Structure 1
Amino acid sequence: MSFSTPVKSKSVVYPGTKQQVRRDNPENINGWAEEISRKLRVYPHDPQKFLDVLVPSDALYKSADVSAAFSGLDGPESTKETAMYKPCIEGLDALVAGFPEDKKLAFHDRSNFNMVYPYSLGREVHHETKPDLIALLPGKSNEVPEKLEWFDVSLIFEVKSSKAQDPMRKTLVDDKDRDPFVKDGVRAVETVTQLAKNARNLMLAHHLVYVFVVGLYGKTARFFRFDHSCAIV
């Protein structure tokens, strides 16, 4: 499946006014939507192969039984996004409980806190973001720094309350006027844009070639591998 690139005027990439910097500004929204359009691809194989190919490990490992780690999401109260944060963190803590101290991650709810663009040069043209859950750098203190910066963060999670809010299609669409992998509609585009902004900040802060961010949609998790050109899901 291949499509030619349509000829059209370029959207706003670098805001020129304070209004364009705002996350709710139509030009900002459309600019991001066009930048990431058709740049997310669903990995065509099973999740284990995704991990083997895209998250390779030099050390031998044995999969642990983590079936009960997220049992806290089974209650009816977890249908609200904010109510999912605590059981998600408890589940993530359970996943790393056996890690060596120098590799263990600490997870925190940061949904009510803004995080600024990593570098002072550029903050005037990039608005703040609010990742739902974050992991600190491996082996660092469990205490969140008083002034948390992207340099302190190794991983982020964006949480949505239901599987219906998963932005990726179940079935590939072969239509030159529609994104083949991302669902139609503003909500889906906003969801992947949110992930893309956080991925950008992580890559810039840590000088990375690629980075993983995680989307949690009810009991469904998607791993997004962003690099400087696209994302594999």
Structure 2
Amino acid sequence: MAVNFHNLNAASGLQKLNDYLLTRSYITGYQASKDDISVYSALATSPSADYVNVARWYNHIDALLKLCGISEEGKGVKIESSASVVEEAPSPAIDDKKGPAADDDDDMDLFGEETEEEKKAAEERAAAVKASGKKKESGKSSVLLDVKPWDDETDMQKLEEVVRSVKMEGLLWGASKLAPVGYGIKKLQIMMTIVDDLVSVDNLIEDYLLVEPANEYIQSCDIVAFNKI
């Protein structure tokens, strides 16, 4: 059964989500799913620490997306009116002295409804915002790399420093760990988030990680996982 949330960017919506997550680790089920991604994407910004349960859940989902992505289908979630909410300003009074003639029905609606021109302009603005949002969301990927040393005498701390020393626009290094390979040798597993249009993972490996001075420590580098965010 789908779960419904309303106005997630308003205080009332965040409080309801905070109460909902008081006894839950995820939006539905017992593991992260696409329902969590839907709610995560609906939040305009990282939630305030005042909403302790939402902040805990948000940071956990953010880390999972950066680490390996989420593929579980979920049970369904419905989110309504998640746009940022601001305090409504009072409608300005109509000045009869400055306004158009009372019999000009085409230009002014006496009951406060939008004119056709205003509706069309609002629809165009909404379409532009939606299009730019989709473009932004589809432009990032989460990548997991396996970086293998030459032998068991390679300084793995120095190896990781060499990897993280690679800096470029659109590249953000994430969590890492050492994993055993065999015969006392360990490999570095490291996450990175990239902007697809700015960073090519293949070029990053060939032009930065398998050339001097990095190749003094790195024997090979492989892509283990590649997920769109």
Instruction: Flag the structure with more relative contact order, 1 or 2, with Cα contacts below 8 A and sequence separation at least 6.
Output: 2
TM bucket (normalised to shorter chain) is under 0.3
Pick the structure with more strand per residue.
2
TM-score (norm 1): 0.25
Q: Which has the larger radius of gyration?
A: 2
